[in-house]
C-alpha cells in the first residue's frame, strides 16, 4: 500500500485523469525527487467535492463514537508509519528528523484529543427547553438544539508544518470531528508526504468502515479555485500567506452560495519587554528570544517578529545582547526555494526602508537563511506603516524603542491583529502594567507572560487565531479543540417525539452528556 502512486484520492479510490504531472523537490538540494504527481483535472476536483457530498449525510449520522474511532484509527496509522516516511518528510522539507517525529506525535495526539472531545460530547452543544403547556398568553413548545457539521470542507494545508497543519492536521481533524467530509488540497511543497498521510487516512477509513469519500485529496496548482467554488463545499480551512488567504476569502464570498473561510495568515507576534525584567535577567531573555526567533528557521506562525522596549540603559544593553545572540545562530535551510526567496525579498524591503536600521546578521548566501535583526523607528507603528506589519517569514525580527508608556500605548494601538502578544516582566511591574493586558486583548488571540510564542499547545484552552490579518475570522482557532466549532452549525427540533430526535437530545440522555436543560447544565435523564 505504501508505494507512492502520485494519484489523487477520490471517494476512496485513486484517480489520475490529467496530463499535467508534477514533481516534488528535495528541499536541501532543489533537485527533483523520484516519482510524479498527477495534477487534478476540473472533473476530478468536482468528483472529489461530490464524493465528499455523498459521504456527508452518512458520516454525519454515524454518531460521535464512530467518528472518534475513526480519528483514533488515523492516529494509529500515522504513528505506525516507518522510517521511510520520516525520511520522505525530511527530504521534502529540510526539517530535521527529531522535529518531524515530534510533529507526528503532535498530529496523532491532536486526533486523539479530538476523539476525546467527541466522546465528551460538549461539542454537540445540546440545549433543551421543555414544553410549558400552561404558559400564558401562549404555551411554549418543546425545543431542542444540537450542532451538526456544516457539510464538506475544503482544507488547504501549510508548508511549514507538513504534518500538524497539513493532510491530517488541525483543519482536517477539526472538520472530521465535526462530521464534515474533507477534500484536501495537497501542498506542492510536500506532495509525497501528503500521499503517505492520505494513505494512512484512507486505510483508517476502511478499517473503521467509514463511507467512501469521507476524505479526498487532490494535487496541483490552481486547482484550489475549482474546489472552493464547487457548490458542494460548505466551508474552507486554510493556513498560509495573507495573499493566499485573502484570495480564498474573495472566492468564497463571491460564490452563488457564499461560505465561511477560516484562514490563518499573517502575524508578527509582538514581544513587549518591561524594564525590571531586563534589569534582572536581560542576558537570559536575549538568549531565549534569539532561540525563539530562529526556531525552525523562523518558520513558525507565532515567530516573534517585533520586539518592543521602553527607552532605558537596560533596553539599550538588551538590544546589544540580542544582536550578539542572533549573530551566534547559524544559517538554516528553509522549507523550499520559494520560502527562501520570499525571506530575501522581505529582508530587502527592510534594508531599503529609511525608517529601519540593520543591526546584525550575515549577508544572505545562496541556499540558506541567515538570522537578521533590525531596529525600526516607533513612528512606523504610530503611522501604521504597512512594511513593519508584514510578516517576514524566516529567522528575522525588528526591535522598536518607545519613549515612555504613553508612546507604548499609542504604538500598540497601531498594531494590526495578531495570533499572539507576549509580555516579559517581573511580578510587580506586570501588575503595574495591567493596562497592557487589557489593550492587547483587542489585538490578539493569545497573550503570554514570561514565555515565548513559538510553541502552540494542543488543548481545550488554546487559541491559535486572532483579529485580521492574523486570521480571516477572529471567532475561530485553528489549534485546540475549539477548532471543531468552526465547522458546526446549530439545528433546532420543535415538538419532536423522542424516537425521532438525535441521541444527544433524547430524554434518556443515552450519551450521558452535559446539556443545558431549561437554563441549567445537567446530565439528568428527563
Helix, strand, or coil (residue 54): helix
Selected catalytic residue, list 44, 92, 103, 264:
264
**C-alpha dist (Å) from residue 42 to 54, 184, 185, 216, 483:** 18, 15, 13, 14, 30
Selected catalytic residue, list 44, 103, 301, 391:
301
The question of whether 264 is a catalytic residue gets the answer yes
Residue 515's contacts (CB-CB under 8 Å, 6 or more residues apart) are: 126, 127, 128, 504, 505, 509, 521, 522, 523
- Whether the ω angle into residue 137 lies within 30 degrees of 0, i.e. cis, is yes
Interacting residue with a copy of itself among 65, 76, 122, 283 (CB under 8 A): 122
Interacting residue with a copy of itself among 26, 287, 379, 468 (CB under 8 A): 468
The question of whether 301 is a catalytic residue gets the answer yes
Interacting residue with a copy of itself among 35, 473, 503, 526 (CB under 8 A): 473
CB of 20 to a copy of itself, least distance (A): 32
**Alpha carbons within 13 A on the beta-carbon side of 109:** 13
Interacting residue with a copy of itself among 6, 18, 224, 260 (CB under 8 A): 260
Q: Does 141 bind a copy of itself (CB under 8 A)?
A: yes
CB of 296 to a copy of itself, least distance (A): 15
Q: Considering only residues 433 through 462, tell me which ones interact with a copy of itself, judged by CB under 8 A.
A: 434, 437-439, 441-442, 444-451, 455, 457, 459-462
Cell of 419: 495570533
CB of 61 to a copy of itself, least distance (A): 6
DSSP line for 294-358: HGGGG--TT---EEEEESSHHHHHHHHHHHHHHHHSPPB--SSHHHHHHHHHHHHHHHH-TTEEE
Q: Does 406 bind a copy of itself (CB under 8 A)?
A: no
Give the nearer residue to a copy of itself in terms of CB position, either 340 or 381.
Answer: 381
CB of 207 to a copy of itself, least distance (A): 26
Residues 516 and 265: their CA atoms lie apart, in Å, by: 35
- Whether the ω angle into residue 301 lies within 30 degrees of 0, i.e. cis, is no
Residues 395 and 297: their CA atoms lie apart, in Å, by: 5
456: left (phi over 0), alpha (psi -120 to 50) or beta: beta
Interacting residue with a copy of itself among 284, 521, 524, 525 (CB under 8 A): 521
Give the nearer residue to a copy of itself in terms of CB position, either 317 or 410.
Answer: 410
Give the nearer residue to a copy of itself in terms of CB position, either 308 or 462.
Answer: 462
CB 456 within 8 A of CB 419: no
Helix, strand, or coil (residue 470): coil
Give the nearer residue to a copy of itself in terms of CB position, either 80 or 492.
Answer: 492
User: Segment contacting a copy of itself (CB under 8 A): 67-75, 157-165, 249-257, 327-335?
Assistant: 249-257
Residues β-bridged to residue 423: 272, 449
Q: Does 151 bind a copy of itself (CB under 8 A)?
A: yes
Q: Does 516 bind a copy of itself (CB under 8 A)?
A: yes
What is the 3-state secondary structure of 84-139? HHHHHHHHHHCCCHHHHHHHHHHHHHHHHHHHHHHHHCHHHCCEEECCECCCCCCC
Interacting residue with a copy of itself among 258, 330, 367, 510 (CB under 8 A): 258
Q: Does 133 bind a copy of itself (CB under 8 A)?
A: no
Give the nearer residue to a copy of itself in terms of CB position, either 187 or 446.
Answer: 446
Q: Does 493 bind a copy of itself (CB under 8 A)?
A: yes
Q: Does 62 bind a copy of itself (CB under 8 A)?
A: no
Q: Considering only residues 177 through 236, tell me which ones interact with a copy of itself, judged by CB under 8 A.
A: 234
Q: Is 176 exposed, middle or buried (0-12, 13-18, 19+ CB in 10 A)?
A: buried
Q: Does 57 bind a copy of itself (CB under 8 A)?
A: yes
Interacting residue with a copy of itself among 87, 491, 524, 525 (CB under 8 A): 491
Residue whose C-alpha cell reads 499535467 in the numeric block: 20
Q: Does 507 bind a copy of itself (CB under 8 A)?
A: no
Sign for the pseudo-dihedral over CA of 179, 185, 189, 191: positive
User: Segment contacting a copy of itself (CB under 8 A): 22-30, 163-171, 209-217, 516-524?
Assistant: 516-524
Interacting residue with a copy of itself among 81, 115, 150, 182 (CB under 8 A): 150
Residues 176 and 208: their CA atoms lie apart, in Å, by: 13
CB of 194 to a copy of itself, least distance (A): 26
Which residues are annotated as catalytic? 264, 301
Amino acid at each position: 500500500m505504501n508505494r507512492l502512486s502520485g494519484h489523487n484520492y477520490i471517494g476512496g479510490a485513486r484517480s489520475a485523469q490529467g496530463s499535467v504531472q508534477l514533481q516534488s523537490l528535495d528541499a536541501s538540494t532543489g533537485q527533483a525527487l523520484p516519482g510524479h504527481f498527477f495534477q487534478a483535472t476540473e472533473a476530478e476536483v468536482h468528483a472529489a467535492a461530490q464524493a465528499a457530498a455523498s459521504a456527508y449525510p452518512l458520516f454525519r449520522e454515524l454518531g460521535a463514537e464512530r467518528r472518534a474511532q475513526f480519528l483514533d484509527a488515523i492516529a494509529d496509522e500515522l504513528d505506525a508509519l516507518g522510517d521511510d516516511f520520516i525520511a520522505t518528510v525530511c527530504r521534502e522539507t529540510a526539517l530535521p528528523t527529531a522535529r518531524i517525529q515530534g510533529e507526528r506525535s503532535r498530529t496523532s495526539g491532536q486526533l486523539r484529543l479530538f476523539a476525546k472531545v467527541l466522546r465528551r460530547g460538549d461539542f454537540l452543544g445540546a440545549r433543551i427547553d421543555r414544553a410549558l403547556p400552561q404558559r400564558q398568553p401562549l404555551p411554549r413548545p418543546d425545543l431542542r438544539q444540537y450542532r451538526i457539521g456544516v457539510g464538506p470542507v475544503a482544507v488547504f494545508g501549510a508548508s511549514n508544518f507538513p504534518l500538524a497543519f497539513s493532510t491530517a492536521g488541525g483543519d482536517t481533524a477539526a472538520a472530521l470531528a465535526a462530521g464534515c467530509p474533507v477534500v484536501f488540497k495537497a501542498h506542492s511543497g510536500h506532495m509525497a508526504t501528503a500521499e503517505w498521510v492520505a494513505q494512512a487516512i484512507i486505510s483508517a477509513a476502511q478499517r473503521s468502515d467509514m463511507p467512501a469519500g469521507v476524505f479526498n485529496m487532490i494535487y496541483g496548482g490552481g486547482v484550489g479555485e475549482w474546489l472552493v467554488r464547487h457548490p458542494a463545499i460548505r466551508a474552507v480551512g486554510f493556513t498560509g500567506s495573507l495573499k493566499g488567504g485573502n484570495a480564498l476569502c474573495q472566492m468564497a464570498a463571491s460564490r452563488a452560495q457564499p461560505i465561511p473561510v477560516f484562514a490563518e495568515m499573517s502575524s508578527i507576534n509582538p514581544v513587549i519587554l518591561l524594564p525590571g525584567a531586563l534589569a534582572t535577567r536581560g542576558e537570559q531573555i536575549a538568549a531565549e528570544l534569539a532561540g525563539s526567533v530562529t526556531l525552525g528557521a523562523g518558520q513558525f506562525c507565532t515567530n516573534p517578529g517585533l520586539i518592543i522596549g521602553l527607552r532605558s540603559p537596560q533596553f539599550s544593553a538588551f538590544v546589544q545582547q540580542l544582536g550578539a545572540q542572533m549573530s551566534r545562530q547559524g544559517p538554516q535551510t528553509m522549507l523550499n526555494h520559494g520560502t527562501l526567496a520570499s525571506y530575501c525579498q522581505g529582508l530587502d524591503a527592510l534594508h531599503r526602508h529609511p525608517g529601519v536600521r540593520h543591526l546584525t546578521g550575515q549577508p544572505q548566501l545562496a541556499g540558506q537563511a541567515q538570522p537578521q535583526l533590525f531596529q525600526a523607528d516607533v513612528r512606523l507603528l504610530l503611522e501604521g506603516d504597512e512594511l513593519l506589519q508584514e510578516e517576514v517569514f524566516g529567522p528575522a525580527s525588528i526591535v522598536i524603542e518607545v519613549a515612555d508608556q504613553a508612546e507604548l500605548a499609542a504604538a500598540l494601538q497601531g498594531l494590526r491583529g495578531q495570533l499572539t502578544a507576549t509580555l516579559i516582566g517581573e511580578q510587580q511591574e506586570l501588575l503595574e502594567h495591567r493596562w497592557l493586558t487589557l489593550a492587547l486583548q483587542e489585538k490578539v488571540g493569545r497573550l503570554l507572560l514570561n514565555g515565548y510564542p513559538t510553541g502552540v499547545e494542543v488543548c481545550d484552552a488554546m487559541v491559535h487565531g486572532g483579529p485580521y490579518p492574523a486570521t480571516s475570522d477572529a471567532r475561530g482557532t485553528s489549534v485546540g479543540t475549539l477548532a471543531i466549532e468552526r465547522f458546526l452549525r446549530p439545528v433546532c427540533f420543535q415538538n419532536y417525539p423522542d424516537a425521532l430526535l438525535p441521541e444527544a437530545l433524547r430524554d434518556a440522555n443515552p450519551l450521558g452528556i452535559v446539556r443545558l436543560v431549561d437554563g441549567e447544565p445537567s446530565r439528568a435523564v428527563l
